[in-house]
Structure 1
Amino acid sequence: MPREARVVAVGLPHHITQRGNARQDVFITDSLRRAYLRLLSQYSITHRLRVLGYCLMTNHVHIVAIPETDSSMANTFRHAHGRFSQYWNTEQKRSGHLWQNRYYSCAVEEAAVGRVIAYVEKNPVRAGMVKYAEDFEWSSARAHLGHVTDGPTQPRNLDDEWWQVRWTAPEWKETLLNLSDQEHESRAIREATYTGRPLGSQAFVADLGEKLGRELGTRPGGRPKRDLDRAANQLALWAIR
Structure 2
Amino acid sequence: MARRHRIAPGGFVYHVMNRAAGRLVLFEPSSDYTAFERLMSRAQRRIDMRILAYCLMPNHWHLLLWPERDRALSRFMHWLETIHTSHWKLERERTGRGAVYQSRFKSIPVQTDDHLLTVWRYVERNPLRANLVASADLWRWSSLAKNRDPYGPTLAISPFALPPDWRAYVNRPQTDAELEAVRSAIRTGEPFGDVDWRATTRATIGWRRRGRPKKGVRPLFPDEKGVRPLFQT
* Deviations 1:38-68, CA, capped at 9 Å, x for gaps: 1111113322221000000000010011122
Q: 1:36 and 1:127, CA in 2 relative to 1: closer, same or farther beyond 3 A? A: same
Bigger mean CA deviation after superposition, 196-205 or 4-13: 4-13
Counterpart position of 2:171: 177
Greater helix content: 1
Structure 2 SS opposite 1:106? strand
Root-mean-square deviation (CA, aligned residues, Å) is 2.2
Cα distance in 1 for residues equivalent to 2:6 and 2:187: 11
* Deviations 1:73-101, CA, capped at 9 Å, x for gaps: 21111111111111111111223221111
Matches within 5 A, 1:82-97: 82-95=82-95, 96=97, 97=99
Cα distance in 2 for residues equivalent to 1:126 and 1:64: 18
Cα distance in 1 for residues equivalent to 2:205 and 2:19: 30
Bigger mean CA deviation after superposition, 38-47 or 48-57: 38-47
Q: Is the 1:15–1:108 Cα contact (8 Å) retained in structure 2?
A: yes
Bigger mean CA deviation after superposition, 38-47 or 82-91: 38-47
The alpha carbon displacement at 1:6 in A equals 2.8
Instruction: Give the counterpart of 1:114 among 114, 117, 135.
Output: 117
Counterpart position of 1:13: 13
Counterpart position of 2:161: 166
Cα distance in 2 for residues equivalent to 1:40 and 1:70: 19
Q: Partner letter of residue 104 of structure 1?
A: K
Structure 1, unaligned stretches of length 5 or more? 223-241
Q: 1:32 and 1:5, CA in 2 relative to 1: closer, same or farther beyond 3 A? A: same
Cα distance in 1 for residues equivalent to 2:48 and 2:73: 9
Q: Is the 2:140–2:147 Cα contact (8 Å) retained in structure 1?
A: no
When the two structures are superposed, what TM-score results if normalisation uses the length of structure 2? 0.80
Instruction: Give the counterpart of 2:181 among 188, 195, 208.
Output: 188
Structure 2 SS opposite 1:199? coil
Q: Partner letter of residue 158 of structure 1?
A: L
Q: Is the 2:5–2:205 Cα contact (8 Å) retained in structure 1?
A: no
When the two structures are superposed, what TM-score results if normalisation uses the length of structure 1? 0.77
Counterpart position of 2:128: 125
Q: Which fold has the larger relative contact order, with Cα–Cα distance below 8 Å and residues 6 or more apart in sequence?
A: 2
Q: Does 1:134 align with 2:137?
A: yes
Number of equivalences: 207
Counterpart position of 2:222: none
Structure 2, unaligned stretches of length 5 or more? 213-233
Q: Is the 1:13–1:110 Cα contact (8 Å) retained in structure 2?
A: yes
Q: 1:94 and 1:150, CA in 2 relative to 1: closer, same or farther beyond 3 A? A: closer
Q: Partner letter of residue 38 of structure 1?
A: R
Counterpart position of 2:101: 99
